[in-house]
Amino acid sequence: MTISAADDLVEARHIDAVRAFNRRYTRIIGVLQGEMLGTEYSLTEGRILFELANFGAAEVVDLRLELDLDAGYLSRILARFEERGMVARRRSDTDGRRQVVELTEAGRAAFEVLNQRTQEQISGLLVPHSPGVRTRLVGAMRTIERILDTDSEADPAGVLLRAPRPGEHGWVIQRNAELYAEEFGWNGEYEALAAKIVADWMNSHDPQRERAWIAEYDGEPVGCVYCMREDDDTARLRLLLVEPSARGLGVGSALVDECLRFATEAGYSEMVLWTNSVLTAARHIYERAGFTLAESNPHHSFGVDLIGQTWRRPLGPDGEPGR
């Protein structure tokens, strides 16, 4: 087996996991059976029917590009559909060199049968599971789409900042531990620190002067931050985290800005935070938000050598830096 240069950059266990998921899921939905759901149509034919039924008449070249199909393969499928009276083809009104294809009544009837069976199949997959599990499943699918669909544009306006729900403080600890282990090799000491910070906040926080936020996107948590009391005049920003799948949406900046706004309204005159020099993306967010580096010290923590940094920002009216 030949291994490409790109494969060398990806861990074999990740490749194996994706392949295993593909094998299992294609078996579950019956793709390997050739014909879909007891009909005479292949998966590709079913997708063509779906496009024409849901989006109307289409130029053949646009349909080919949308589905990434070989021109000859698509032409043969459309010819079979035409022989069965399921589609009609005509010349484009704007460009006589192009063909337009659309479903006939017979084609729409064939699609309705296929669509109904698909609905019943997916319902059968979901019905054994609770509403909460179904929501998790849909969220996981959206995460896969965001990560793998590099051509799609994520919508920053879809990010929602809200208070943590029951169980999400545990998510904060878990994701902090997992992400920093994966990206920087930090050991269980960091998980213990994150757990202590969260436990301290949950056990004794003052709702008027301390708050936590979860950033939600597509119904799933993708980030977090905590604002905690340092002393009467100083608030401390802690546990800022943004999921890799949500980076580029402005989640980190939105969380920091909300933390600053709340701290200003709560009457603090300064916000402070501690981070490490290896966290370059976070440091850029802090710099853009008006923080300045106040102190830097080397230390050995979480199983690695690090350079710890303290950043500070004065607070003034409307969250602007103090004068």
Helix or strand or coil: residue 199? helix
> For the residues 293-318, what does the mean pLDDT come to?
92
Residue among 202, 259, 272, 197 nearest 233 (CA): 272
Domain assignments of the chain as residue spans, ordered by start: 5-148, 156-319
Banded pLDDT at 152 (limits 50, 70, 90): low
What's residue 323's pLDDT? Answer: 35
CATH of domain 5-148: 1.10.10.10
pLDDT in tens, 95-150: 878 899 999 999 999 999 988 988 888 898 889 988 878 877 887 787 787 777 76
Q: What is the pTM of this model?
A: 0.62
CA distance 245 to 316: 34
Closest CA to 239 of 268, 273, 271, 278: 273
What pLDDT was estimated at residue 150? 63
The radius of gyration of the chain's CA atoms, rounded to the nearest angstrom, is 27
CATH 3.40.190.10 holds for 156-319: no
Average pLDDT over residues 162-183: 95
